[in-house]
Structures are given as structure tokens and as C-alpha cells.
Structure 1
Amino acid sequence: MLDWMIETRNLENPDKPLDLSEEANWSASGESVNENTAGKLAAVYSCIGVLGRSLGQLPLHVLRKVDGKVTRATDHPVYYLLHDEPNSMQTSYDWRETIMVHVNGWGNGYSPIERDRHGTVVGLDLLRPWESSLFRSSSNRWVYSVSSDELPLKSVNPDDMLHFKAIGSNGLIGRSPILQCAETFALGQASQRYGNRFFGGGGRPAAIVSAKGQLNKESWNILKTAWKQAKRALRDEDNNTLMLPAELDYNQLTIAPEDAQFLETRKFNRSEIAGIYNVPSHMINDLDKATFSNISEQAIQFVRHTMIPWVVKFEQEMNRKLFTQAERRAGYYVKFNLNGLLRGTSKDRAEFYTKAIRDGWMTRNEVRELEEMNQADGLDKFLMSADLQPKVVGDKNEKR
């Protein structure tokens, strides 16, 4: 069972597994970039949070399609796990949100599938990405290895592991977006560190201060003490004036933030990070170029070009591993409902529903269900506006 421990091989480096152990990339700015350091940037935290919350809030159901009719498969054991509680420690929302954080931070999200002795899925656990590795065994099989301080070392068959991946070079394991774009994140870390040091020093650039006249040892000590007390007063009392007992020369050494375009650099870096995660800037509270009209359009683009690819990735991985071939042939599948992200305002929804009912492809009860309202008698028929009714050939009233 543990043949993966013997003569393991790797597509990229035969001496190492395809793992996700914490890696440090030294950038041109001298910053060490990894998932933990970059995660302290507000833009990174915001982007990953937006993606995690967006996926977590989507309704997730197990459906069954038979003879063209789709129904919710509430009797399937996977339904409760995905819709309510995948394991004893998490809700469905928490499970999906955490996996998205892992994928967008470390490049991979792992969730082992727990089955009973009959092969029925009874639980979906969650692993931290740095505790999981993908090995190729001596028998040429891919196997996941799991090790942590809390759990003993064990192997997991790929059929029993939900593996959600970011973009990678070999299709087997994802690459951390943070390590892939390390220089961009390093610039954010460097500018943040510069700002912290600048304001931590009392909000003044570093400089050389020298006395214009000669000082003896006693005068020099008095001056040093007075300088330290004055700087402390700047920080503690928000005082903008230094009171010193001597005439001094002040020579600035560092560049002031406005000269270094500090604010512009930070804004540009936030925009770049949002671009890496394909998150609209206004969703991480960058409203410099936001208007009401373009925010609405960007929200739609976010669903189409950011969330739908993630939804398809999650659906395909879950469909192929949570259901047997017989179940898939019987019509079982997993489906996210994206309507929650596209609901819009009450006016937008009313116009959408009106057109759907008028054009005859939604019933009024289907609309009520989407609005979390109980169904009513007599509202299950499809309606169609009179001007959309097909003409009858040979109708005497037909205009010639």
C-alpha cells in the first residue's frame, strides 16, 4: 500500500515530490515573497476574500436529469454533504471558501473523500495544501501523500481526493499565483515596509543632524538627550515642532514619500494584484475610476470571466469523483446556481422576469421560487404574448 515511499519520481525533479511546501522567492527589491508574507498585503487578502466568499455563497445542489426533466436529487448522500455539511467541523460555505483561499494562495486545494465500506461517500475533509504532495510510485501510479503534526503519514488514491488547481505547467498540480508573480507582490511588500518605517520614525525622512559650532563632551550629551526627547514628543504628542538647545544643520538622506510617488506606487500595485486575480478594482474598495454604470458592467464581467471558470472547474472535479459511472449515466450531476451573483436590483429582476414570462420560457411559479416565495395554484402554465404567437397558415385574418 505504501509503495509510493519507494523510488518515487517527479515530472520536474526526480528527487522531490510534486508538493506545495512553503517556498521563498527573493525579488529584485530584496523582499522574500511567499504565500504567508504576500497574504499580509491588503490587496491580496481582499482579492482572495472576494473569490472565496463569491464561491461560498452560491447555492450548490445535486441534480438529476431524466428524459429531459431536471429534479433535485435530495435523496442522494452527496446532496447533504455539498449543500449543508461536508464534515463535522465545517458548513458547505466554509468548506468552499477555504478551498478557494488555498487555491488562490498556494495554488492547490485538497479535500479527501471519505467513503464507507460500500463505497458510499460519507464525508469531505479538508487538507492544508502544504501537508499534501503528489507522488509517482514505483508502479507508475500517481498517489497523494498526506502528512501533518496531527495525522500520521498516509497515502490517498487520486479517485478519493478532490484536487482543485490554479494554473500550472503540467496539468497535475497548480502553481501559486503569488510565487508565479513574485515581483509584483514584492513591490507591494517593499512599499508597505517603506511606509511603515517612514511613519514609524515619526513621519520624517532620515537625515544627518550636525551642530554648526564646536561642542564639548558635556554639550554633545545634552544635545543627544534633547534630540531623542524631541523625537519622542513628535510621536507621542503629535507635535510638529522640534525644540533643541543649539543651532543645527539638517541634511536629508532619504526621499520623501511624495517624491518617491509612494501613493501612486501603492495604487498601481493594488490594481496589478487585482488584475492577477481577475477581480474588479471596485470590489477591493479601489473606487478611483469607478462610476455607477461601469461598476454594474464590471460586476457582470466578474461573474462571466472570473467566477464561471472557477465554477466549471469545481463542478467537473466533483462530478467525476463524487459519482460512479453508473450514477453519471443515470443523470446525477453537481450544479452551482449563479443567479445569486446576477440578481441585480429589484428593477432589473422585474424587467428580466417580465421578459422571461412574456417570451414563454419561464412560468410565474418558477419566478416565485427564485424569489424565495411559495408556489401558487394556477401559475405553472407557460404564457406567451399575443404578438409572439405563431401565425396559422391560411388564416382569413392574416394580412395580405
Structure 2
Amino acid sequence: MEFRWYNPRTWGFFGYTDPTTGDYVEVDMEIGGKRTKSGVTVTTKTALSISMVWSCVKILSESLSGLPLKLFDDSADGRKLVSGDDRSLKLLRKPNPYMTMLNFLKFVVVNMALRGNAFALIERNRNGEPIGLVPLDCNTVTIDTDEDMIYWVTPKDGDRFPVSPENMLHFKLFSLDGVVGLSPIEYQAETMGLAKAGQQWSSRFMRKGGFTGGYVIYENFLTKAQQAQVMEKFPDVRKGDVDDIGKMAILQGNPKIVPAGLSQRDAQFIESQQFQEEALAGIYGVPLWLANRAGKTSIMGSNLEQQLIGFITFGLKPYIDVVEDELNDKIYRKYSRFVEFTVEGLQRADSAGRATLFAAALGGSGGSGWMSINEVRRKENLPPLDGPEYDRVTRWEMPTNVKD
């Protein structure tokens, strides 16, 4: 497999590992960013430095990438799972020589969650069959819709080249024009900037030992000599470090020290931070308890199950639908095949929940089942059992009275 434009040195996503020295080199992915009213410039790095944004993006990317991605053949006899050494399965396991599908899906979700778009070049052989998926930095891709839609890719070390839509995977959640996805960082910059400003203010507050600054007021005007004497004796706390806390100054002339600004308590800092975390969690559709913020959320009993279902339905499923739709449209559209995530993979850690589900599916407690024993074993990655009775679905029928 040849990758003409796949060069880890050209990536602008957080950084890259220098293949010569083995050292990690951080790359400034975005220049400028968006300036907010809180005074913070929000970029991808700035957003990820906010703990709630990091938690939400991490949960979404790891949850989706950990789901089994299955390939099915939609034949006349119904859908059948494609298995064995099929060439299409190799692409789903290893989309390129540098990534597994797990890491590729993480790349897709992280870029969608932060930038609203994720791009990957489809490499095809001479027969037009897809043989590789090359992730692209969003900053290197532009979309031209003047006539026919075309993607222009501009590598850092190379000439710009066009890519037709059928050879470009473009993942996006939602957009205004149906072409370019909306960036959460752009449209929610004020919310993220306020959270980052609060984080920075808290750090400076702790660094200064809780001192917010103030004024030294004298009853009378000071002469220049007195002013110089005061500035020499009085330490400038604003420039002081934690090591300066506890130092004393001796002042003469009956001065009064008046603090300036608001304390964290007066500014309701904790409440403000909690509100920002709730707002950010709402942007990404991630429940607070998943991000380890369970102070206002009950996670006892069936409530946890319902919240998990809500997260899958409203938080994770939009990403699942986008990935499935784009892969099926660009890669498997010409074939009678399609890919689908197995959402039940999120229940792997819940043995009791899986046991209850499969018991009902097999027709337990005298009910009518909808799965056979071998179907359940396949879902649990177990080999099938020999015998027709293991492929039979339990049916329950209402007994009828027979008149003599």
C-alpha cells in the first residue's frame, strides 16, 4: 500500500513523534483562535485544557471506538455477518499501516467533537476498491462548492491537490448548509472561554495565597521622598510568589489597607464553575455522572440504567449514525454490504444485565424468545454448538380448547 501524502511529520493534531530522534514535538495546531469576552482565546488546545471538555471528548471517543464494528451482507436471504478472511474486513481492522480501527475512530470522534468535522482520504486500488483510509488534519482541507463540490488538500510539505467527494470521508454532526459541520469551539467559545477564565483565575488566586490585591490609603498626601520610602518598605504583593506569603511590611503615617476585587466566596466561584460544567456536559450530551460529577445526580438502582440509555440515545448515537452513514455511503454503496456498530458492547462490563437480557431472549420464565442459543453464543464470542436444537427459537403459543 502506497501513501503518497501520509506523513506523520505533517500532522497538526497536537503534535507528532519525530521518527529521527523519537522525541514528541508539540505543534501549534491553530493560530489565532477565537477571542472571547472573558479575555480568553479559545482554540482546540485551550478547550481540551478544560477538565469537563476533556472528560466529555474522552468519554465519547472511547465509548464509540470500543464498540464492535460489524460488516453485514444484505442478500436475498436476509442480512448475514461477513466473517473469515474477506478483504473488506482487513480494512475495518487496519485502515492504514499506522492505525488500528480503534485509534482511527478516536481520531474521527475527537475532531468532530472539537472542530465539527473530520476528514479521511480513501485510497483505492486500480479496480476502485478501497484499500486504505488516511486521516487528514482539518486545517489542511478546504471545500470548494462553486461548481461541483471538490475537496482541496494542502499538505505542509507538498502541493495542493483535489479530492472528489467519493474519495473523501467527511464526518460531521450537523451544519447550516449541509456541507461543513459546525464547530463547537467556534459556536460555544464564550461558554468554554468563561470556564477557562474561571480556571485561570482560580490558579492565580491560589498562587497568590488568596490575596486579591488592594489599596494602601494615607490620610494626607505624601511627598516624593515619603512615596519612595513606602515603595521601598512595602512589598509588591501582586508580583510576589507563594514564597512571599507571610512576609510583613512596616509602614508609618497611619495607612489603611483596603482589599480590591471580590473573594471567591463573594463571586460564588464554586457555583459558577458547577454551572459551566453542566453547560459543557449539555453541549456534548454526556451525563454528569459519567464525568465523575455526581454531586447533583442520583446513580442508584435503575436510574443508572436509564441514564446510560439516555447517553447512548442522545449523546453517543449521533456520532454512531454519522460514522455508519459515511462509511456505508462512500465505501460500501456499490456493494450489497453495510457496517453497523454493536451497541450491546457497552454492556460487556454488566454481566448481570447481559444475563437478564439473554435469558429473556431465549424465552426464559415461560415466555416466547427471539434468539437461539447459538445466536447468544456468537454475541458472547463463543463457538456454536452442534445440533438443530441449538438453532431453534423458543416459541410460546396459547393453548386452545378442543370441543368433543
Q: TM-score range by the shorter chain?
A: 0.7 to 0.9
Of residues 382, 385, 394 in structure 1, which corresponds to 2:392? 382
> Are the equivalent residues in 2 in contact too, given 1:205–1:254 (CA < 8 A)?
yes
Deviation of residue 365 (structure 1)? 2.3
SS of 1:125's equivalent in the other structure is strand
Tell me the distance in 2 between the aligned counterparts of 1:246 and 1:382: 93
- Flag structure 2 segments of 5+ consecutive residues without an equivalent: 1-28
Name the residue aligned to 1:5.
none
Tell me the distance in 2 between the aligned counterparts of 1:128 and 1:87: 16
Deviation of residue 242 (structure 1)? 4.1
Tell me the distance in 2 between the aligned counterparts of 1:127 and 1:229: 45
Of residues 370, 373, 396 in structure 2, which corresponds to 1:361? 370
Of residues 60, 78, 82 in structure 2, which corresponds to 1:68? 78
Once the two structures are aligned, what percentage of the paired residues are identical?
28
Tell me the distance in 1 between the aligned counterparts of 2:239 and 2:104: 53
Name the residue aligned to 2:183.
176
> Are the equivalent residues in 1 in contact too, given 2:70–2:81 (CA < 8 A)?
no
> Are the equivalent residues in 1 in contact too, given 2:72–2:79 (CA < 8 A)?
no
Tell me the distance in 2 between the aligned counterparts of 1:68 and 1:100: 31
**Residue 318 (1) aligns with residue 300 (2):** no
Tell me the distance in 2 between the aligned counterparts of 1:313 and 1:223: 65
Tell me the distance in 2 between the aligned counterparts of 1:276 and 1:65: 36
Matches within 5 A, 1:77-96: 77-82=87-92, 84-96=93-105
Which region of structure 1 is more displaced relative to structure 2, 340-349 or 176-185?
Answer: 340-349
> Are the equivalent residues in 1 in contact too, given 2:122–2:167 (CA < 8 A)?
yes
> Are the equivalent residues in 1 in contact too, given 2:173–2:318 (CA < 8 A)?
no
> Are the equivalent residues in 1 in contact too, given 2:121–2:136 (CA < 8 A)?
yes
Tell me the distance in 2 between the aligned counterparts of 1:50 and 1:370: 24
Tell me the distance in 2 between the aligned counterparts of 1:142 and 1:45: 34
Matches within 5 A, 1:30-179: 30-66=39-75, 67-82=77-92, 84-137=93-146, 140-179=147-186
SS of 1:185's equivalent in the other structure is helix
Tell me the distance in 2 between the aligned counterparts of 1:395 and 1:101: 68
Amino acid at match of 2:390: D
> Are the equivalent residues in 1 in contact too, given 2:32–2:41 (CA < 8 A)?
no
Name the residue aligned to 1:351.
356
Of residues 177, 192, 195 in structure 1, which corresponds to 2:202? 195
Name the residue aligned to 1:267.
274
Aligned residues: 363
Amino acid at match of 2:90: Y
Matches within 5 A, 1:271-350: 271-293=278-300, 294-325=303-334, 327-328=335-336, 332-343=337-348, 345-350=350-355
Tell me the distance in 1 between the aligned counterparts of 2:47 and 2:79: 48
> Are the equivalent residues in 1 in contact too, given 2:378–2:384 (CA < 8 A)?
yes
Tell me the distance in 2 between the aligned counterparts of 1:121 and 1:69: 22
**Residue 28 (1) aligns with residue 37 (2):** yes
> Are the equivalent residues in 2 in contact too, given 1:353–1:367 (CA < 8 A)?
yes
> Are the equivalent residues in 1 in contact too, given 2:62–2:106 (CA < 8 A)?
yes
Tell me the distance in 1 between the aligned counterparts of 2:32 and 2:172: 18
Deviation of residue 154 (structure 1)? 0.9
Distance 1:265 1:314, change over 3 A: same
**TM-score normalised by length of structure 1:** 0.82
Name the residue aligned to 1:209.
216
Tell me the distance in 2 between the aligned counterparts of 1:288 and 1:228: 36
Distance 1:228 1:258, change over 3 A: closer
Name the residue aligned to 2:13.
none
Instruction: Give the alignment's Cα RMSD to 1 decimal.
Output: 2.8
Name the residue aligned to 1:6.
none
Amino acid at match of 2:63: S
> Are the equivalent residues in 1 in contact too, given 2:174–2:181 (CA < 8 A)?
yes
- Flag structure 1 segments of 5+ consecutive residues without an equivalent: 1-19
Amino acid at match of 1:391: P
**TM-score normalised by length of structure 2:** 0.81
Deviation of residue 170 (structure 1)? 0.4
> Are the equivalent residues in 2 in contact too, given 1:47–1:284 (CA < 8 A)?
yes
Tell me the distance in 1 between the aligned counterparts of 2:207 and 2:349: 44
> Are the equivalent residues in 2 in contact too, given 1:51–1:100 (CA < 8 A)?
yes
SS of 1:133's equivalent in the other structure is strand
Deviation of residue 290 (structure 1)? 2.4
Matches within 5 A, 1:236-255: 236=243, 241-246=246-251, 249-255=256-262
Deviation of residue 161 (structure 1)? 0.4
> Are the equivalent residues in 2 in contact too, given 1:202–1:231 (CA < 8 A)?
no
SS of 2:234's equivalent in the other structure is helix
Amino acid at match of 2:391: K
Distance 1:74 1:173, change over 3 A: farther
SS of 1:377's equivalent in the other structure is coil
Distance 1:88 1:36, change over 3 A: same
SS of 2:152's equivalent in the other structure is strand
Of residues 373, 391, 397 in structure 1, which corresponds to 2:399? 391
SS of 2:391's equivalent in the other structure is coil
SS of 2:319's equivalent in the other structure is helix
